């Protein structure tokens, strides 16, 4: 019995993302008890739509965090606001403008990611300061472009963002494909090996001939590109782009990375854990709403639940 427990404990330590799925499952069961089968079923389906948006920005943040201690992107909400405003203005509400709008959105993401990296690399500004500073500039540009109005998406984009395929939201299928592709890249390609090496020991990676700065630059660019794509999906899902549509994704992007099992010291990403953490956070918020707690009480309990999951998954050892 003790040997079996030790084996199970070792397996969970090697796969910390399992805890996020276990937490999500327990919270859904609690919702089932509190709200009933029909409501719990509908909440579960909704979790795949809202969770997919969390996953997309979380995957980008995960790449940045994996590059090593201190690396984080705080410009995600402003990137979402600017990319959404420029992309939808380019589309002009017409289905024929979707392709051009998508290209503009991707261009915004690439430009923001490159600018963030250059601030960090050339000016030697800590990532948390550099990305926070750039977020103020991006938000100002978004205000100028959006002019405080909610920009309506083309019908085709809205239909895709709110559509269903095989009884699941199309958003979930799209983000699942992105996650599987990224998991394959991280596990099977040189980029994935180089990223892990850079995150675990940048100097050793550099001495081994790995382009450390190229890897970091690419991760910041991909993070911003994922945020920009998320902007289009949020706009299509919610019926338009607004200046505050990315606000909730700053803390969410960090929370899903940590809860999902990605090492905050770098070098060990967890794609599967991002999905588990996104579902966990959605069920947490939904369950507390169903119970009828006030906003302050929900915030306190959400924080305590998140801390409990992090402690249970053994993440405390990474802060020592």
Residues of the chain with pLDDT under 50: 3-4, 8, 10, 315-320
Give the per-residue pLDDT at 228.
94
**Domain spans of the chain?**
17-315
Q: Three-state SS string across the chain, please?
A: CHHHHHHHHHHHHHCCHHHHHHHHHHHHHHHHHHHCHHHHHHHHHHHHHHHHHHHHHHHHHHHHHHCCCCCCCCCHHHHHHHHHHHHHHHHCCCHHHHHHHHHHHHHHHHHHHHHHHHHHHHCCCCHHHHHHHHHHHHHHHHHHHHCCCCECCCHHHHHHHHCEECCEEHHHHHHHHHHHHHHHHHHHCHHHHHHHHHHHCHHHHHHCCCCHHHHHHHHHHHHHHHHHHHHHHHHHHHCCECCCCCCCHHHHHHHHHHHCCCCCCCCCCCHHHHHHHHHHHHHHHHHHHHHCCCHHHHHHHHHHHHHHHHHHCCHHHHHC
Give the per-residue pLDDT at 255.
84
Give the per-residue pLDDT at 150.
74
Give the per-residue pLDDT at 30.
82
Give the per-residue pLDDT at 316.
42
Instruction: Tell me the fold of 17-315.
Output: ABC transporter involved in vitamin B12 uptake, BtuC (1.10.3470)
Give the per-residue pLDDT at 310.
62
End-to-end CA distance of the chain: 31
Whole-model pTM: value is 0.88
Give the per-residue pLDDT at 14.
58
Token readout for 3 is 């040997």
**Among 191, 231, 236, 230, residue whose Cα is nearest residue 214:** 191
Give the per-residue pLDDT at 302.
65
Give the per-residue pLDDT at 286.
82
C-alpha–C-alpha distance, residues 116 and 5, integer Å: 46
């Amino acid at each position: 019995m003790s040997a079996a427990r030790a084996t199970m404990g070792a397996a969970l330590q090697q796969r910390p993302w399992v805890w996020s799925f276990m937490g999500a499952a327990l919270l859904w069961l609690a919702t089932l008890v509190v709200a009933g089968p029909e409501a719990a079923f509908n909440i579960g389906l909704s979790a795949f739509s809202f969770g997919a948006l969390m996953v997309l920005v979380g995957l980008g943040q995960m790449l940045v965090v994996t590059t090593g201690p201190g690396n984080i992107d705080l410009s995600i909400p402003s990137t979402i606001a600017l990319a959404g405003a420029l992309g939808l203005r380019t589309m002009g509400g017409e289905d024929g403008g979707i392709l051009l709008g998508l290209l503009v959105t991707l261009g915004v993401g690439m430009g923001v990611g490159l600018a963030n990296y250059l601030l960090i690399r050339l000016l030697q500004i800590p990532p948390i300061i550099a990305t926070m500073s750039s977020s103020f500039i991006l938000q100002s540009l978004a205000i100028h472009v959006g002019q405080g109005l909610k920009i309506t998406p083309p019908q085709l984009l809205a239909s895709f963002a709110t559509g269903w395929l095989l009884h699941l939201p199309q958003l979930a299928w799209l983000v699942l494909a992105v996650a599987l592709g990224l998991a394959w890249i991280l596990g099977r390609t040189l980029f994935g090996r180089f990223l892990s090496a850079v995150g675990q020991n940048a100097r050793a990676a550099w001495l081994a001939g790995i382009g450390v700065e190229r890897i970091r630059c690419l991760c910041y660019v991909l993070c911003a590109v994922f945020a920009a794509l998320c902007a289009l999906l949020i706009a299509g899902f919610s019926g338009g782009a607004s200046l505050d549509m990315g606000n909730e994704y700053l803390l969410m992007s960090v929370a899903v990375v940590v809860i999902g099992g990605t090492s905050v010291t770098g070098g060990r990403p967890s794609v599967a854990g991002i999905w588990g953490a996104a579902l966990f956070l959605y069920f947490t918020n939904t369950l507390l709403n169903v119970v009828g707690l006030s906003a302050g009480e929900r915030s306190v309990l959400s924080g305590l639940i998140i801390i409990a999951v992090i402690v249970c998954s053994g993440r405390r050892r990474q802060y020592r």
